[in-house]
Amino acid sequence: MVEIDARGRSCPEPVIMAKRALKENEEIDVLVDNRASLENVQRYGRAMKKQVSAKEEGTGWRIEIRR
Amino acid sequence: MELREKHRLAITGAVIGAISVLLVVLGNPKNMGFCIACFIRDIAGGMHLHTAPIVEYMRPEIIGIILGAFAISVITGDFRPRSGSSPVLRFVIGFFVMIGALVFLGCPLRMVLRLAGGDMNAFVALLGFIAGIGVGCIFLSNGFSLGRANEATRLEGAAFPAATIFVFVMFLAFPSLFLFSESGPGSMHAPVVASLAAGLVVGILAERSRLCMAGGIRDIFLIRDFTLILGFVAIFIAALIGNLLTGSFSLGFADQPVSHDKHLWNFLGMMLVGLGSVMLGGCPLRQLILAGEGSGDSVSAVLGMLFGAAAAHNFSLASSAGTGPGTNGKAAVIVGLIVLIAIASLVTVKERRKYGRD
């Protein structure tokens, strides 16, 4: 699984990192540590017609984007 | 989830638009119910950082926004102190965002409020704002990043809100320490309680909804997403209705309140704000909210704006209402655009090299 570590990145970088990773991969995990990024990345995943789920992990979240 | 997000943004925008009109009725300058740039500029004057006599007042709206965002983020768990993502560059970018805003005479929020008041100069500025965001997005999609922020202590995160509270208490207890305009925009203000309450409400709502004036346009460019722009549109509609109801709407370029009709400089000023806002990850309002949430990097940007506001008046960079920018102001906008594009280019090239190595 390709894992994108977007923790500590300010908006909208996590979304751009996810966008870039989704060009080369069908399924990715994205790690974020603030709620704005959590919402933005999930929204982007759904807009790309993907299955999106998120769970808390450490001090942030792991967003799972699946085909 | 998505619907809720959109509802939140629409409601937040509508409330901000309505409160802005109300604050004007209560005494704030016209089309300036809220203006993050103008109010930070007034605070710089109130704190003796500049001595332009017409723009001195410790605007409680700004204090309310920071404290509202701080309080709600502590309650909801969004308070996550972070810092270390190029704080000095963010200070510099914040500085030039303020210069751009004071050449136009308004932050992106006031630009929307001016549009809703029929001020067509704000439409020229909106085009510049969009252009600046477009340039910023080109850098972003090519890898621009100010770097990762690291976790910081809760004390570090709470220091800026605490300093804000201290300054406000001093303002209430010993007003003679601060400067107050006797004429001009700085002398026009709603009662302190109303301003503070308005700031608190806007701070809470903007924190919950992540409202950002630059983010809406940026997301359309970058990911074809129309969620954040809703807040922008809702502010416009609510303020437009409010202005029509209170008879404050007047369409045109000439004789608009606290503005000028130098189109090139309205365009370039807001282009600078748009580019800087994308580089900072949010408009001036959003920087205040993030500062309340414990982002030391956004505090740097806010302090850069405060310093920029002081410089704008000490070195005659800010535009005068009616006549527009002087030579210094024009030069500062050009220098600002060059500096920001240089920073963005250098960072982007470096990031691309790093990607190449990975």
Residue B356: band (very low, low, confident or very high) from pLDDT cuts 50, 70, 90: low
C-beta of residue B38 within 8 angstroms of C-beta of residue B32: yes
- Please tell me if residue A42 touches chain B, with a CB cutoff of 8 Å: yes
Of B211, B219, B355, which to mutate for an interface test with A (greatest number of A Cβ within 10 Å)? Answer: B219
pLDDT tens digit string along B53-109?
A: 999 999 999 999 999 999 999 999 999 999 999 999 999 999 999 999 999 999 999
Pairwise CB contact (< 8 Å): A12 & B281: yes
Calpha distance B99→B23 (Å, rounded)? 25
> Hey, what are B70's tokens?
């701080």
pLDDT at residue B142 tops 90 = yes
Contact check, Cβ <8 Å, B5/A39: yes
Our count of domains for chain A comes to 1
Task: Tell me which residue has tokens 């710089």.
Answer: B44
* Residue among B183, B178, B181 nearest B49 (CA): B178
Tokens 């995943």 belong to residue: A45
Residue bearing tokens 């109801």: B245
Chain B CB within 8 Å of residue A44 CB: yes
- Asked if A52 reaches chain B (Cβ–Cβ under 8 Å), the answer is no
Q: Do B223 and A46 touch (CB under 8 A)?
A: no
CATH number at residue A62: 3.30.110.40
Q: Which residue has the higher pLDDT, B315 or B1?
A: B315
Which residues in chain B are contacts of A33 at CB distance < 8 A?
Answer: 80, 82
Q: What DSSP letter does each residue of B40-94 carry, written as one string?
A: HHHHHHHTTS---TTS----HHHHHHHHHHHHHHHHHT----EE-S-HHHHHHHH
CA atoms within 13 A on the CB side of B297: 26
**Residue corresponding to tokens 């690291």:** B150
* Cβ-nearest to B225 among A9, A34, A43: A43
Nearest to A43 among B227, B282, B297 (CB): B227
Q: Is the pLDDT of residue B3 over 80?
A: no
Pick from B176, B159, B142: which is nearest to B298 by CA? B159
Tokens 């309310």 map to which residue? B64
Query: What percentage of chain B exceeds 90 in pLDDT?
Result: 95
Under 8 Å between Cβ of B35 and B110: yes
CA-based nearest distance B149→chain A, Å: 4
Report the pLDDT value the prediction gives residue B353, as an integer from 0 to 100: 83
pLDDT bin (cut points 50, 70, 90) of residue B341 is: very high
Does A35 sit within 8 Å of B149, measured CB to CB? no
Counted residue by residue, chain A has a size of 67
The residues, any chain, with a CB within 8 Å of residue B32's CB and separated by 6 or more, are: B24, B38, B106, B110, B113, B185, B257, B258
Domain residues for the domain of A8 are 2-66
* Closest CA of chain B from A12, distance in Å: 7
From chain B, the residues in CB contact with A36 under 8 A are: 210
Q: Is B238 helix (H, G, I), strand (E, B) or coil?
A: helix
User: CA gyration radius for chain A?
Assistant: 10
- Which pLDDT score is estimated for A59? 86
* Residues of A in Cβ contact (< 8 Å) with B78: 34-35
Low-confidence ranges of chain A (pLDDT < 50): none
* pLDDT tens-digit series, residues B30-47: 999 999 999 999 999 999
Q: Is B147 helix (H, G, I), strand (E, B) or coil?
A: coil
> Which residues of chain A neighbour B151 with C-beta distances below 8 Å?
59
CA dist list (Å): A32 to B84, B97, B150, B251, B305: 17, 28, 12, 45, 28
